Amino acid sequence: MHNEDQQIVGQEAAATPSDGPKYASSTVGILRYLWSHLDSQIDSVSDEDLRWLSRATEEASLMALNLDKTVSGVAALLAYEIDSKGCRSGSFQPYDLPELLWGIASTVGTIGEMVTIGGEADFALRRRCEDRAERLAHQLSVRTAQNLRADDGLQLAAQAQATRSRKQVVATEREIENA
């Protein structure tokens, strides 16, 4: 889309009242819209889905590497043509450069949003795992304390039995001496 077209679309969007989502109709806007709805219900999302969403950071990393290679290649091509006395590549004529840059900006925005989604999903998953670990540790400590109390009770019962047995032995020895 040329710069004039972009301005017209921007003016139409500003002039048209919207009852819909407050996000742009771009990849980034759609990702933000979807994540905002999912993020408010994050506790109901399964661990498997959170793991899948957390992989968005890996995909974003690959996208960033691919974008780096693509932009570096375009830059090298343009630098070569400029050194050779002017731009001759059809897609990179001066009036097409804004579209190229908007495409790059859109991809960078998508990468950033994917990193955000992946990071927040990973954080939610880690928090959930930590909470589970704490609950299990608490349950384990309660059970251990109960077992120790039970062991203490058994030990006290055994000591009481030993004391009774000693008393009986002493009583029996006295009877033998008196007899």
Q: Which of 32-36, 90-94, 108-112, 129-133 has the lowest mean pLDDT?
A: 90-94
What distances in angstroms separate CA 123 from CA 7, 52, 64, one per listed residue? 39, 13, 22
The reply to whether the predicted model has a pTM over 0.85 is: no
Average pLDDT over residues 11-35: 71
Q: Which residues contact 85 (CB under 8 A, 6 or more apart)?
A: none
What pLDDT, in 10s, does the model give residues 132-167?
888 888 777 777 766 666 666 667 666 777 777 777
pLDDT over 50 at 2, yes or no: no
Residue 1 belongs to a domain: no
Residue 14 belongs to a domain: no
Residue 132 belongs to a domain: yes
**Domain assignment of residue 60, given as a range:** 22-38+46-178
Residue 133 belongs to a domain: yes
> What pLDDT, on a 0 to 100 scale, did the predictor assign at position 17?
52
> What pLDDT, on a 0 to 100 scale, did the predictor assign at position 1?
45
> What pLDDT, on a 0 to 100 scale, did the predictor assign at position 159?
74
Do residues 21 and 33 touch, judged by C-beta distance below 8 A?
A: yes
Residue 90 pLDDT class (50, 70, 90 cuts): low
Average pLDDT over residues 75-102: 71
Residue 108 belongs to a domain: yes
Residue 6 belongs to a domain: no
pLDDT over 50 at 83, yes or no: yes
Q: For the stretch 148-176, what's the b/e string if a residue is b when 16 or more beta carbons lie within 10 angstroms of its beta carbon?
A: eeeeeeeeeeeeeeeeeeeeeeeeeeeee
> What pLDDT, on a 0 to 100 scale, did the predictor assign at position 145?
66
Residue 11 belongs to a domain: no
- Of residues 38 and 153, more confidently modeled: 38
Tally the domains of the chain.
Answer: 1
Residue 5 belongs to a domain: no
